[in-house]
Amino acid sequence: MRRFLARIKNLFSPDKQLSAQLEHLLGFKPKHLPYYQLALVHRSKLDELARNNERLEYLGDAFIGAIVGEYLFQKYPTQSEGFLTEMRSRIVRRETLNNVANRMGLQKMVQYNNRDRGFERSHIFGNALEALVGAVYLDQGYAKTRTFIIKQLLQKYVDIELMASTDTNYKNQLLNWAQVNKHTLSFDVMESKNERNRRMFSIAIIINDKPFCEGTAFNKKDAGQVAARKALALIAEQDSN
């Protein structure tokens, strides 16, 4: 155990500097720094399960989902289950959490294989944010974790009112466009490929039996959203000409 913690510590700047960075980021001083050090180690840096942040990511994901769900339930007392479910999904999805993590500056703190440029467009920083929440829970308990998620994440970095008034489901937008304009539309899964030991998925959008554009991501759902966003941008450009 001592060897393991020493190896983790060696990846980081001196403890005092990291502790100060975390205190600024979290809004409180960490009690047990190794939890946070582990939360900031991606598996591309240390592949052994006990030495990277994947287990903490699982823990943090569970708390984010539960606390965001409770927060929305209290904030919108007259809204339907469908609205609450959709809003929670938008907040906890990888794209949103990755954006929050980047705005917080986590991309400067996470230890990962930075020689692989593919990670810069992935969601590893959002995953690290989930792991950080897991570390907060282990270090500070549930009440402090709840306060951290609500005050330091939701209220600082997520515009919930704007999110509630806009539709960011690009796939649904595209399907609605096709229905209104009487076009046939399909999302076709292309062959997946490995890119530096990571599986990539491509989704092709077919409009009126003709290929229109493609989107690529680390899972099929995200690839479909990327493709739909590209298609909507192309349609808007064509309509403006």
Task: Please report, in tens digits, the pLDDT of each residue of the chain (241 residues total).
Answer: 556 555 555 555 467 888 888 998 899 999 999 999 999 988 776 555 567 889 999 999 999 999 999 999 999 999 888 889 888 988 998 889 999 999 999 988 888 766 555 555 567 899 999 999 999 999 999 999 999 999 999 999 999 988 887 766 788 889 989 999 999 999 999 877 775 556 788 999 999 999 999 988 877 888 888 899 899 999 988 887 7
pTM for the full predicted model: 0.67
Give Cα separations from 7 to 1, 11, 38, 41 (angstroms).
10, 7, 10, 11
> Rounded CA gap, 187 and 228, in Å?
9
Domains in the chain with CATH codes:
2-165 (1.10.1520.10), 170-240 (3.30.160.20)
User: Phi first, then psi: what are they for 144, rounded to 5°?
Assistant: -70, -35
Point out the residues that are catalytic.
61, 130
Say how far apart CA 188 and CA 91 lie, in whole Å: 27
Bridge partners (DSSP) listed for residue 213: 205
- Distance in angstroms (rounded) separating the CA atoms of residues 79 and 21: 39
